Amino acid sequence: MTVLVGFEFPLGRYHASPWGTHPNEGEVEWPPSPWRLVRALYASWHEKSPHLSEDLVLGLLRKLATPPAYHLPEVGLS
């Protein structure tokens, strides 16, 4: 199964601290970790689509929780 995820940042910025670091340390999590994406999808399910069955959602999230492969554009720190 192949899943493609694209990000668009309307203001041209992204801010996320890696797990286990303080936001003031200046570390940037790029690309976003699979854990961050799966966690956001899980939270969205609870908030926006609680009518979907837990078995269905967890099955899909397990499929997404695999080691990723990335194709990234060049980025710079601001």
Only one residue has tokens 């999590």, namely 29
Distance from C-alpha of 57 to C-alpha of 67, rounded to nearest angstrom = 19
pTM value? 0.68
pLDDT at 1 (0 to 100): 67
pLDDT at 9 (0 to 100): 85
| Res 3 pLDDT > 80 | no
- Summarised one tens digit per residue, pLDDT across range 51-63 is 999 999 999 898 8
Q: Where is mean pLDDT largest: 15-19, 46-50, 63-67?
A: 46-50
